[in-house]
Amino acid sequence: MNSFSALIPLLIIVFASLCIMILEAFLKKENKDYLAYISIIFLVVCGFFLVRAWNKDFSYFNGNLFLDNLSLFFSFIFLITTFLVILISMKYISLQGVNCGEYYSLLLLALSGMLIMVSSGDLLVIFLGLEVLSISSYSLAGLRRKDEKSSEAAIKYFLLGCFASAFLVYGIALLYGATYSTDIASIINHFQSGESLGLMALIGLGMFVIGFGFKIAVVPFHMWTPDVYEGAPTPITAFFSVGPKAVGFAVLLRVLYPYLKNVQDSSKAIFLLLCIISVLTMVVGNLIALRQTNLKRILAYSSIAHAGYLLIAILAQDNASLVFYLTVYIFMNIGAFAAVIALGKKDKEYLELEDYAGIGFKYPWIGATFSVFLLSLAGFPPTGGFLAKFYVFSAAVRQDLVPLVIIGVLASLISVFYYLRIIVYMYMKEPSYEVDINIDNPGLFLVLFLCLYGVLQLGIFPGNVLILIKQAVTALL
C-alpha cells in the first residue's frame, strides 16, 4: 500500500538526531544528560509506529521504500539495540570523557542508516544507507580523542570501510551493467531467466558479497575488527558488534536467499565462495580468540566467529533460524559488553583478563549475568544461544550440509574454552590486586537485567518470538 506512513519511522529518527544536534549546540553543559532521555523518548515513539505498521505492507517513493514484516522486525531489533546502547552509554561517556551530545546524534544517524538499509529493495538506496551508517560509525569510533587507540581505530575503520564501499559500488555497477537494474527483484529475475549474463553479473555479485563481508567481518576481510573494537569506546564497540553485522546479514538475506533458491546453474560459484568464507570464519575466529587476553579483543574474535555460524544459516536457506540467531545474538552480545563496561571507574576501564579475577564473588550480580551471557555465546542450554545454534545446525543438516555442521560444532567446542576461561577467572582465581569500580549505574544494570531476560526468554520460551519471525520471513517468499 502506497502511504506516507512508510516514511514516518525514518523521519522520527532523523528528526530526533537533528533535535539533539541543535540542543547540543544550544544547551548548557550541565543539562546534557537529558539528551539521552530525549533520544530514548524518540526511540519509543518510533517503536510505536513500527509496531502499528505490522502486516500493513506500507510502501512509498515508487516502492523504493517499503515496510514489509521482515524490515519491520529488523527495524525493531535495531531500535532495541540502540536503546540498550544508549542506556549503557549514559554513565560511561561522562566517566570516560566523551561526554558530548553528538554521541547520541551520531548513534541515531547510524540507526537511520540501518533503517534505510533494511527497508529497501534497491541496491542504490541500500548503498546510501550503508554509507550513512558507516560515516557515523567512523566518527563514533574516534570519539575518545585523548586515546591514541581510538584515533587509530577511527582511521583504520575509515580506510578499510572505504575500501569495502568501493568493492560494493563496483559490484553494484557490474550488476547494473549486466541486468540494467539496481532493483534486487529484477536482478534476480534476470538471473532466473537464464539469459547469458556471463561472468560480469557473477563477478558483480561476488564483489557485492565481499563488500558486505567487510561489514559483517568474515574471515579474509576481518583484519580491522579487533583493532577497531579495541579502540572504540566500549558501548560503541557493543553497537558495532551487533548493529552493522545484523544489518549486513539482513541485506545479504534479501539478496542471497532468492538467488540461491531460484537460480540453479550459476549459483554454485557463490555458494562455494560462501562455504569457504564460512568455514574460514568459524575456524580462524575461534582459534585466534584463544590467545587473546584483552576482553574486548576476545569478544571481537567471538563476534567474527558468530558471523561464520550465521553464514551457515544463509547457506542452509533457513531464514527463520538466521533471524532468530541474530535476535539472540543481539541480547547476549550487548549483555556481555554491558558487563565489561560495568567494570570501570573515572578515566579507567578494566579490560584485561587478570582484572577479572575474583569478580564473581565481589560483584555477584555482574559476575552471574556475565557468566550467563558467556554461556549463551558458547551455546549452552537453557540459554538462547543454544537454541539459536541448534536451529541453524539442524537446518543445515536438513539441507545436506553435514561437513559444514561438523566444522561448526567443532569450532564452537573450541570457543567453549575461551568463554569458560573468563568464568574460571571470575570465580576460581584469587585477585592479586584491588579492582574498585563505580557501581552507581542504574542504566547499565537495567541493560544487564533486560539482556538476561531476553537471553533466557528466547532460550526457554521462544514460541512467541518464533511466530513473529515466521510471519516476518514470509515477506521473502
Partner 1 sequence: MAHFLFFLLAIVCIASVLGMIISKNQAYNALFLVLAFACMGGFFALLDAPFIAVVQIIIYAGAIMILFIFVIMMINLREGLPPERKKWTLYFALGIAVVLFVELILTMKSAFSSLKSGGIEKIGSPTDIGRLLFTEYLYPFEITSILIIAALVGAIVLVKKRDKE
Partner 2 sequence: MIELFLVFVIFGFLGVLLVVMNKLLGPKRSNPTKESPFECGSPYLQDGINPFPLKYSLVAFLFLLFDIEVVFFFPWALVFKEIGITALIVMFAYIFILLIGFIYAWKKGAFQWER
CB 142 within 8 A of CB 123: no
29 binds partner 1 (CB under 8 A): yes
Binds 124: which of partner 1, partner 2, none (CB < 5-8 Å by kind): partner 1
Binds 71: which of partner 2, partner 1, none (CB < 5-8 Å by kind): none
Binds 226: which of partner 1, partner 2, none (CB < 5-8 Å by kind): none
349 binds partner 1 (CB under 8 A): no
Question: What amino acid occupies position 58?
Answer: F
Measure Cα distances from 335 to 52, 108, 191, 210, 455 in Å.
28, 20, 42, 29, 9
CB 248 within 8 A of CB 258: no
Pick between residue 159 and residue 276 the one whose CB is nearest to partner 2.
159
Q: Count the residues of the shown chain that bind partner 2, applying the rule CB under 8 A.
A: 7
> What is the secondary structure of 64-131 as a DSSP string?
TEEE-HHHHHHHHHHHHHHHHHHHHHHHHHHHTT---THHHHHHHHHHHHHHHHHT--BHHHHHHHHH
147 binds partner 2 (CB under 8 A): no
Grouping H, G, I as helix, E, B as strand and the rest as coil, residue 307 is: helix
Q: Tell me how far, at minimum, the Cβ of 38 lies from partner 1, in Å.
A: 16
Binds 313: which of partner 2, partner 1, none (CB < 5-8 Å by kind): none
Pick between residue 7 and residue 456 the one whose CB is nearest to partner 1.
7
CB within 8 Å of 34: residues ≥ 6 apart: 27
Peptide bond into 233 cis (omega under 30): no
C-alpha dihedral (217, 182, 475, 311), degrees to nearest 10 = -20
Binds 59: which of partner 2, partner 1, none (CB < 5-8 Å by kind): none
Pick between residue 135 and residue 475 the one whose CB is nearest to partner 2.
135
Grouping H, G, I as helix, E, B as strand and the rest as coil, residue 352 is: strand
CB 326 within 8 A of CB 309: no
Binds 22: which of partner 1, partner 2, none (CB < 5-8 Å by kind): partner 2
Q: Tell me how far, at minimum, the Cβ of 418 lies from partner 1, in Å.
A: 34
CB 58 within 8 A of CB 5: yes
* The three grid cell numbers given for residue 448, joined into one nine-digit string: 544487564
Binds 376: which of partner 1, partner 2, none (CB < 5-8 Å by kind): none
Q: Tell me how far, at minimum, the Cβ of 65 lies from partner 2, in Å.
A: 14
Distance CA 51, CA 87 (A): 22
Please select the residue that binds partner 1; options are 14, 53, 388, 448, rule is CB under 8 A. Answer: 14
CB 105 within 8 A of CB 80: no
Please select the residue that binds partner 2; options are 13, 14, 448, 458, rule is CB under 8 A. Answer: 14
How crowded is residue 363: how many other Cβ atoms within 10 Å of its Cβ? 18
Distance CA 152, CA 156 (A): 6
Distance CA 421, CA 436 (A): 22
Distance CA 343, CA 352 (A): 11
Distance CA 82, CA 17 (A): 13
Binds 26: which of partner 1, partner 2, none (CB < 5-8 Å by kind): partner 2
- CA–chain centroid gap for 10, Å, is 19
Binds 129: which of partner 1, partner 2, none (CB < 5-8 Å by kind): partner 1
138 binds partner 1 (CB under 8 A): yes
Pick between residue 21 and residue 310 the one whose CB is nearest to partner 2.
21
Mask: binding to partner 2, 17-46, rule CB under 8 A, as x and -? Answer: -x--xx-xxx--------------------
Q: Tell me how far, at minimum, the Cβ of 13 lies from partner 2, in Å.
A: 13
State phi, psi for 294 to the nearest 5 degrees: -90, 130
Q: Tell me how far, at minimum, the Cβ of 472 lies from partner 1, in Å.
A: 23
* The three grid cell numbers given for residue 86, joined into one nine-digit string: 544508549
Pick between residue 25 and residue 477 the one whose CB is nearest to partner 2.
25
132 binds partner 1 (CB under 8 A): yes
Which contiguous run of DSSP H or E holds residue 146? Answer: none
Q: Tell me how far, at minimum, the Cβ of 103 lies from partner 2, in Å.
A: 14
139 binds partner 1 (CB under 8 A): yes
CB 88 within 8 A of CB 235: yes
Q: Tell me how far, at minimum, the Cβ of 182 lies from partner 1, in Å.
A: 10
Q: Tell me how far, at minimum, the Cβ of 128 lies from partner 2, in Å.
A: 13
129 binds partner 1 (CB under 8 A): yes
Q: Tell me how far, at minimum, the Cβ of 7 lies from partner 1, in Å.
A: 9
Please select the residue that binds partner 1; options are 65, 201, 310, 435, rule is CB under 8 A. Answer: 65
Q: Applying CB under 8 A, which residues contact partner 2?
A: 14, 18, 21-22, 24-26
Q: Applying CB under 8 A, which residues contact partner 1?
A: 14, 17-18, 21, 29, 60-62, 64-65, 97, 99-100, 102, 105-106, 109, 112-113, 116, 120, 122, 124-125, 128-129, 131-132, 135-136, 138-139, 142-143, 145, 154
